[in-house]
Amino acid sequence: MTAEVLALNRRTEREAVFNPWRVRRDFPILHQKLEGKPLVYLDSAAMSQKPQVVLDAIRRFYQLDCSNVHRGVHTLSERATDAYETARAKIQRFINAGHPSEIVFVRGTTEGINLVAGSYGRRHIRAGDEIVVTTMEHHSNIVPWQILCEEKGARLRVAPVSDTGELLLDEFERLLNPRTRFVSVVHVSNALGTVNPIRRIVEMAHGWNVPVLIDGAQAAPHLGIDVRELDCDFYVFSGHKLYGPTGIGVLYGKEKLLEAMPPYQGGGEMISTVSFEKTTYKRPPFKFEAGTPNVAGAIGLGTAIDYVSGLGRSAVAAHEEQLMAYATKALLDIPGVRLIGTAPGKVSVVSFVLDGVHPHDIGTILDEEGIAIRAGHHCAQPLMERFRVPATARASFALYNVTEEIDALVSALHKVRDLLG
């Protein structure tokens, strides 16, 4: 047997025996009590927890390799640069981009979208043009486009969603017209869990020669991402939702588009030459990475990607699917619970309301039981308005969650009903 076959066998074996209890051992934060109760962490859509290997990688950088990148000729700088660029290559493979130069390190999804709006958008959007988003966008995929539209006299068009929380594709298609200049759509809704049909959306937009940005903040931790297969023009996600550190994220852009875009910020590292008469810029991705980047963050994210890939993406997805099915059924069995977002195939989040109880009160009482969920508008106020709710309670799942935690959630919700319902 070749080494490759042996490695494949080992990996298949690991995937077959995916054991969330064993996985939990990799996450030190999960083994604590809050007010004497074991922590039940069901807020990974807001921020995922970090495995020990990621914590170690960050510590190792600061302890042994701490140095600036792309600058020094000394050993530490070479090591840091090597680790930083290795992380970029890992991300390239993780999303199947064609080349590492298509991977730009940013602070997170929000900065990635602002970069595209501020650079591509500023250059190409003019008065009377239209930009299309959907009702289920996170504020970070609404506000940057609104700012751009205001500046340019352009118009933001919004594709509606159905009562189940699915994008109405026909309505989306109807919005595309000769004035459309850009489409920006979420892959997985953070408030509903809906998975959008990105391939179809991209095909429709490309039919009008319109580029498409995908907000992958909630997709990257749960779905296999293949940017070439999706054929999207830009894809953005955050490290902190993908078991990596805060302050680091990724903007993928097709090489040709990145090449033609003006810089987003000016400063050190992004230039080829500077004089008071004229400055010339480096090629992507460096053109978009002004100043000292988040080196430790990039290294940590690369390690997080190794970690998830090592567990087997399909094994993780199968586990999370099982959690979703279990939670959906268990919540619906509680009298007075209504789910917000019931699209088939949804992933990772269950949003709900409970008759007569404000979601914030649910969150507060659950916290007393050691259970962390999110309650609020989830940075998706237009979507809350669409469903005529001020807020929802949201439980979200990750690879380290177990069905026993959903049982704890359900029994705490019964307490909430007894107290306030």
Interacting residue ranges for ligand PLP, rule: CB under 6 A: 108-110, 138, 140-141, 186, 190, 215, 217-218, 238
Tell me the C-alpha distance between 67 and 78, whole Å. Answer: 9
Spell out the residues 6+ positions from residue 11 whose beta carbon is closer than 8 angstroms to its own: 312
Catalytic residues: 379
Sequence-ordered list of residues with C-beta below 8 angstroms from that of 186, at least 6 positions apart, any chain: 134, 136, 137, 138, 141, 196, 214, 215, 217, 218
φ, ψ of residue 360 in degrees (nearest 5)? -65, -35
Q: Is 211 exposed, middle or buried (0-12, 13-18, 19+ CB in 10 A)?
A: buried
Provide the minimum distance between the beta carbon of 245 and ligand PLP in the complex, in angstroms, as a whole number. Answer: 11
Of residues 81 and 114, the one with the C-beta less far from ligand PLP: 114
- Closest CB 214 distance from ligand PLP, rounded Å: 10
Rounded Cα–Cα distance for residues 378 and 136 (Å): 11
The residue (of 143 and 271) whose beta carbon lies closer to ligand PLP is 143
Is the CB of 81 or the CB of 140 nearer to ligand PLP? 140
For residue 380, the minimal CB distance to ligand PLP (Å) is: 8
Position 2, amino acid:
T
The Cβ-side half-sphere exposure at 279, using a 13 Å CA radius, reads 13
Nearer to ligand PLP, 140 or 180 (CB): 140
SS3 222: coil
For ligand PLP, which is the closer residue by CB, 180 or 238? 238
Query: Among residues 287 and 374, whose Cβ is nearest to ligand PLP?
Result: 374
- Min. distance of Cβ 385 from ligand PLP in angstroms? 17
The helix (H) or strand (E) run that includes residue 338 is: strand 337-339
Query: At its nearest, how many Å lie between ligand PLP and the CB of residue 136?
Result: 9
Listed residue (383, 331, 375) closest to 357, CA to CA: 375
Least Å distance between CB 147 and ligand PLP? Answer: 16
Strand (E) positions, 355-420?
A: 371-372, 374-376, 392-396
Cβ contact 283:99 at 8 Å: no
